[in-house]
Amino acid sequence: RKEVEQDPGPFNVPEGATVAFNCTYSNSASQSFFWYRQDCRKEPKLLMSVYSSGNEDGRFTAQLNRASQYISLLIRDSKLSDSATYLCVVDSGGYQKVTFGTGTKLQVIP
């Protein structure tokens, strides 16, 4: 089983739609969880951290379910500029490194 698994997509959604991505992880000792965004031909950049209580940043909401070992990202009112690949990232259980998922591609269409 992969350490971090994501649905690769692509998710094609119309502007204004709500879209959700899930990610599962296998290391129950993991403590830190993140969503990164990667635009085409660019480097990944941190979108948001994921906290146990769930957290929101504008149109973006991240949730963590430790019991089922998955994290989610919800994007409301999708914009064309949200088109990108979203990478789920999980720490390696106490080591100074993280594992990246393969990414979920989102295409928001007009």
Which residues make up the interface to other proteins (CB under 8 A)? 8, 32, 34, 42-46, 49, 87, 91, 96-103
At 82 the three-state DSSP class reads: helix
- The two tokens of residue 28 are 């129950």
Closest CB to other proteins among residues 43, 58: 43
Strands 19-25 and 4-6: antiparallel
CB of 50 to other proteins, least distance (A): 11
Closest CB to other proteins among residues 1, 97: 97
Closest CB to other proteins among residues 64, 87: 87
HSE-CB of 11 using CA atoms within 13 angstroms: 26
CB of 102 to other proteins, least distance (A): 4
d(CA 77, CA 61): 12
CB of 16 to other proteins, least distance (A): 29
62: DSSP letter: E
